[in-house]
Amino acid sequence: MPMQPWFPDAKLGIFVHYGLYAVEGVAESWSFYYGDISREDYLAQLDGFTAEAYDPAAWAELFAQAGARYAVLTTRHHDGFALWDSAYGELNVTASPAGRDLVGPFADALRERGLKVGLYYSHSDWNHPDYPTVRGPQAHPSPYVTPPEGQEDPVAWARYLAYRDGQVDELVERYRPDLLWFDGEWERSEEQWGIDALADRILAVRPQAVLNARMLSRGDYATPEQGVPITPPDGPWELCLTINDSWGYRPHDTNHKPVGHLVRYFTETIGAGGNLLLDVGPTADGRILPEQADRLKGLGAWIERHAEA
Ligand code: JFZ
């Protein structure tokens, strides 16, 4: 299916990193991977994930005010915590005080406000018993190490892929996303991930779904790293960007980019034919703080002033 016309025209999307990590304000998934927090303490955040102020209609209104045409929610990051009541795996909202599906209301609220629905999903799950974690070239040694190559258990790996596929099926069938934003692919090869089969099963149900570049050869658009590229890629592309220096909620990170900087990223990106996917990190109870909301509104006001009639 050719690229959906909405995507290359969208210009602005909002990325939402919402998950367990917001409870203690630690880095999303990477904090326990690096050992900055123990796995036990990381998982203890479950008790504080309340979502009690979760109001996706208010988020959708804010995103529309920012001038966005789509938004992408982290439905399950590398830590394995699913924001919906999945039938696959143990680690999801039903194990937290939130206790209910948060993805469905997000999708409904965006649609209601005329925005396209994007769902983020990590291929890797560093908390799944069948997932052999890879030690990266990081500064801190990770306590979780994969077995040597060739010694991974093929039965466990098949179970892991069945779990991932089951979750992706749930996301696609229940929420009918317009875009799927995969992540975490770097730990395995395209063949090990079964990318082709996964793309086929998604598109069989939702042929119009746009797939990001972390679906490797089946991706529909490019995702340049580290800023606006000097030479833009051919075809549609998207730059993802944090407002401060964190993807998720981190109260000590106050290094928020001024609205003027966000405007520059936005204009440079769309001037070179891309979309900007600008990230927010809600608190564990589901609020987008004024530091971030005000910047989204500021960018939206600028876009509004400069939009063609
Ligand atoms: C990944 C995640 O590991 C991270 O936690 C966050 O969710 C981010 C949006 O995605 O990290 C990456 C991976 C690749 C790039 C940037 C961040 N990249 O290609 O620019």
Region of 140 (left: φ > 0; alpha: ψ -120 to 50; beta: rest) is beta
CA of 247 relative to ligand 1 center, distance in Å: 9
| Model pLDDT for residues 145-189, shown as the tens digit of each residue | 566 666 778 888 999 999 999 999 999 999 999 999 999 998 888
175 Cα: distance to centroid of ligand 1 (angstroms): 23
Asked whether 285 lines ligand 1 (CB < 6 A), one says no
Provide the whole-model pTM.
Answer: 0.95
pLDDT at residue 286 above 60? Answer: yes
At residue 23, the pLDDT reads: 98
Residue 187 Cβ contacting ligand 1 at under 6 Å: no
User: Which band of pLDDT confidence, cut at 50, 70 and 90, is reported for residue 223?
Assistant: confident
Mean pLDDT across the chain: 92
- pLDDT at residue 122 is higher than 90: yes
146 Cα: distance to centroid of ligand 1 (angstroms): 21
Q: How confident is the model over 2-13, as pLDDT tens digits?
A: 678 999 999 999
Considering only CA atoms, which residue is closest to atom 6 of ligand 1?
Answer: 247
The 10s digit of each residue's pLDDT in 233-274 is 888 999 999 999 999 999 999 999 999 999 999 999 999 999
Determine the distance separating the centroid of ligand 1 and the alpha carbon of 120, expressed in angstroms. Answer: 11
Mean pLDDT to the nearest integer, 116-129: 94
Tokens 């999945």 belong to residue: 86
183 lines ligand 1 (CB under 6 A): yes
* SS3 of the chain: helix, strand, coil, percent, to 5: 40, 15, 50
Residues contacting 96, CB < 8 A, separation 6+: 20, 46, 47, 49, 50, 51
| Closest to 12 measured CA to CA, from 263, 289, 284, 309 | 263
72 residue type, one letter: V
- From residue 267, how far is each of 252, 272, 273, 302, 306 by CA, in Å? 29, 8, 10, 11, 11
pLDDT for 148 equals 62
Residue 264 CA to ligand 1 centre (angstroms): 22
Q: For Cα atoms 155, 160, 165, give the angle at the middle one, nearest 5 degrees.
A: 125
> Is 229 close to ligand 1, i.e. is its CB under 6 Å away?
no
Q: Using CA of residue 269, residue 107, residue 98, residue 126, what is the dihedral sign? A: negative
Chain-centroid distance of CA 19 in Å reads 10
- Cβ–ligand 1 contact at 247 (below 6 Å): yes
- Which phi and psi angles does 73 have, rounded to 5°? -105, 135
Q: Which atom number of ligand 1 is nearest to the Cα of residue 120?
A: 7
Instruction: Give the nearest ligand 1 atom to 213 CA.
Output: 19
Find, among 2, 10, 7, the residue nearest to 303 by Cα: 10
Asked if residues 193 and 160 have their Cβ atoms less than 8 Å apart, the reply is no
As given in the structure block, the two tokens for residue 37 are 């927090």
Asked if 122 and 184 count as a contact pair (C-beta separation under 8 A), the reply is: yes
